[in-house]
Amino acid sequence: MTACSLHNPTFTLLHDKAVIIAHAYIATPNTNKAQHKRQQSACVRALLSKTLCKFNITAKLQDTHLPYRLIGGRHGFVSFSHSGNQVALIISPTPCAIDIEIHPVSPAIANRYYHPNELMLINQAIAKQSLIAALWRIKECWIKLYHGRLHAGLGVDFSAMTLPDTSTQLQLVRTSVAAGHWVYHQPRLQLNAIFADDNVAFD
């Protein structure tokens, strides 16, 4: 088993404390690419164990198929993400997804896959790269949430889910574009998450 030591874990409670977002750094990242991927996987699960312990949640992870679920506790769904030396997760009673991405997203990717309204927003932005990256993370969350459906999140207009491009504060936004969903923004950690209201139907 790949060893994992976490540094500076943080926990955020949302939505009347029903939703938990956790983040941590890998204390000693492995320099071997293949081993680092295994380390990321081990560390995000270590973060889950730490989160369950912190909030006294007795549950087991069911990760044989998507969406991942927690069995035996009041929180039903879990989503993982990792990038570089960072790992993150979201636990929610409703379907959820999280994405953290520390690497820049190419403007060419945006020009190819983003909705025209998103591109217009980017062109007007001061911090263009930050907005490109935030939109990419939201799209990645949408892919995870709907398991690759809805055009895999690419070409879908998420411009109304974003914050002002100069914002550096974490915020929770209820979106009318994708009715019944909440979008969590944590610009400092380059992290976004989406979770559904109770009345949103999923297959």
Q: Among 75, 76, 79, 116, which residue's Cα sits nearest to residue 97?
A: 79
Cα 58 from Cα 140, distance rounded (Å): 29
pLDDT tens track for 65-120: 888 999 986 668 999 999 999 999 999 999 999 999 999 999 999 998 899 999 99
Q: Residue 72 falls within a domain, yes or no?
A: yes
pLDDT tens track for 7-51: 999 999 988 888 999 999 999 988 898 898 999 999 999 999 999
Residue 163 has pLDDT above 70, yes or no: no
Domain that holds residue 117: 107-196
Provide the 10 A C-beta neighbour count for residue 203.
Answer: 5
- Give yes or no: residues 60 and 133 share one domain: no
Sign of CA dihedral 15, 103, 122, 118: negative
Say how many domains are in the chain.
Answer: 2
- Give yes or no: residues 16 and 86 share one domain: yes
Q: How would DSSP label each residue in 49-108?
A: HHHHHHTT---EEE-SSSSPEEESSS--EEEEEEETTEEEEEEESS-EEEEE--SPPPHH
Looking at residue 198, its pLDDT comes to: 73
Residue 175 has pLDDT above 90, yes or no: no
Q: How would DSSP label each residue in 160-171?
A: GGPPPTT--S-E
Q: Which of 69, 94, 119 represents a domain boundary (last residue)?
A: 94
DSSP state of 7: E
Q: Residue 148 falls within a domain, yes or no?
A: yes
Which two tokens mark 117? Answer: 């309204």
Looking at residue 150, its pLDDT comes to: 47
Q: pTM (2 decimals)?
A: 0.88
Residue 201 has pLDDT above 50, yes or no: no
- Give yes or no: residues 145 and 191 share one domain: yes
Q: Residue 141 falls within a domain, yes or no?
A: yes
- Give yes or no: residues 114 and 86 share one domain: no
The owner of tokens 């020009």 is: 111
Q: Residue 172 falls within a domain, yes or no?
A: yes
